[in-house]
């Protein structure tokens, strides 16, 4: 299949559900002819934003009454996110994962405020169903961590469906169920990329390209327009080389001699870290993150923010 055919296949899922950004009842000029599109009463927007969001941000973030969804939360980095939030006594920590055994074990281990929902994020109906189940149980959502991802240089479709499409739609659902334009209270979306999203790696160009998408997409959704409209912040976390299942099965693009040995050598030369570093990193990002920011967690050190060379917002 040609690259053009693959690209056209991806376009089957486009355009995104842009109706989730339709703001209700705060248009200027509600007349018999209907609301005027894209003309907003800024004073009403500001008042609405202040009423719904308040001061529950930054270091004042109140974890106790929050509900969170973590995709890919049954193991590895996602499990550390779930464990950390469960320890913070959230009202609900929802693990959305395809691994039933690991998910059920996580619930037994982490406590009564943890819920498991079997979810194959590559299946959009299952992903949407997960959000609906959470809303039915808790009637709210405050924090979404799109963490599910795979490394497979030999399956374009699997990487695009998991690392790109599922994360993209997860983000849209996050806005839908948290945005003040939908009569919600705002919230936080954290999209998990990789250091491959801010660098270049010859050994895994497919994974790198998908990771770059996550960074660019998250930065774009983390611009003032979307925050002013919805009260939802978007952050990105880029893990460095971490001891998870991703590093246990190295595969590379076919047809390139010595690429696998080169990739193994590259990975071996990097300092690996334990997933446990992501618990403190998550708290750092939640309490210190600016809308649209990107954070790196690598070499077992505390999370640090990186800024793009070009930061023009269009």
Decide if 17 is inside a domain.
no
Q: Is residue 52 part of a domain?
A: no
CATH code assigned at 69 = 3.40.50.720
Has residue 110 been placed in a domain? yes
- Domain for residue 152, yes or no? yes
pLDDT band with cut points at 50, 70 and 90 for residue 194: very high
What does the pLDDT look like over 241-288, one tens digit per residue? 998 766 567 788 888 988 888 888 888 777 789 999 999 999 999 999
- List the alpha helices (DSSP H) in the chain: 3-10, 42-53, 76-87, 100-110, 124-138, 156-159, 167-178, 205-221, 224-230, 259-269, 278-288
What residues make up the domain containing 193? 65-306
pLDDT digits (tens, 9 = 90+) for 52-88: 444 466 778 999 999 999 999 999 999 999 999 999 9
- Residue 275 makes CB contacts below 8 A (sequence gap 6+) with 76, 77, 79, 80, 242, 243, 244
Q: Which of 173, 177, 207, 227 is catalytic?
A: 207
Closest listed residue to residue 273, CA positions, set 249, 294, 307, 296: 296
pLDDT band at 311 (very low <50, low <70, confident <90, very high): low
Residue 207 annotated as catalytic: yes
Total count of domains within the chain: 1
Please give the span between the terminal C-alpha atoms of the chain, in angstroms, as a whole number: 35
pTM of the model: 0.82
β-bridge pairing 294-297 and 187-192: unpaired
Q: Which of 17-21, 51-55, 162-166, 259-263 has the lowest mean pLDDT?
A: 51-55
Query: In Å, what is the CA distance from 102 to each residue of 79, 95, 110?
Result: 10, 10, 12
């Amino acid at each position: 299949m040609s690259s053009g055919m693959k690209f056209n296949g991806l376009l089957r899922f486009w355009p995104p559900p842009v109706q989730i950004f339709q703001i209700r009842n705060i248009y200027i000029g509600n007349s018999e002819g209907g609301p005027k599109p894209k003309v907003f009463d800024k004073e009403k927007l500001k008042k609405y934003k202040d009423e719904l969001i308040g001061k529950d941000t930054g270091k004042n973030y109140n974890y106790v009454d929050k509900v969170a969804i973590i995709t890919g939360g049954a193991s590895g980095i996602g499990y550390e996110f779930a464990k950390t939030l469960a320890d913070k006594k959230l009202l609900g920590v929802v693990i959305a994962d395809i691994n039933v055994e690991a998910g059920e074990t996580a619930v037994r281990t982490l406590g009564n405020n943890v819920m498991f929902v079997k979810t194959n994020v590559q299946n959009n109906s299952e992903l949407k169903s997960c959000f609906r189940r959470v809303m039915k149980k808790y009637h709210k959502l405050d924090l979404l961590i799109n963490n599910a991802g795979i490394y497979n240089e030999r399956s374009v479709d699997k990487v695009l469906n998991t690392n790109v499409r599922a994360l993209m739609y997860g983000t849209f659902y996050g806005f839908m169920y948290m945005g003040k334009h939908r009569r919600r209270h705002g919230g936080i979306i954290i999209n998990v990329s990789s250091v491959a999203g801010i660098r270049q790696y010859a050994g895994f160009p497919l994974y790198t390209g998908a990771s770059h998408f996550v960074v660019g997409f998250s930065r774009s959704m983390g611009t003032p327009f979307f925050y002013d409209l919805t009260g939802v912040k978007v952050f990105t976390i880029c893990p460095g080389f971490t001891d998870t299942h991703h590093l246990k099965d190295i595969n590379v693009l076919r047809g390139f001699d010595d690429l696998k040995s080169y990739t193994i050598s590259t990975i071996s030369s990097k300092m690996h870290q334990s997933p446990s570093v992501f618990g403190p990193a998550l708290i750092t990002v939640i309490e210190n993150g600016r809308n649209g920011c990107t954070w790196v967690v690598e070499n077992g050190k505390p999370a640090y923010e990186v800024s793009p060379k070009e930061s023009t917002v269009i």
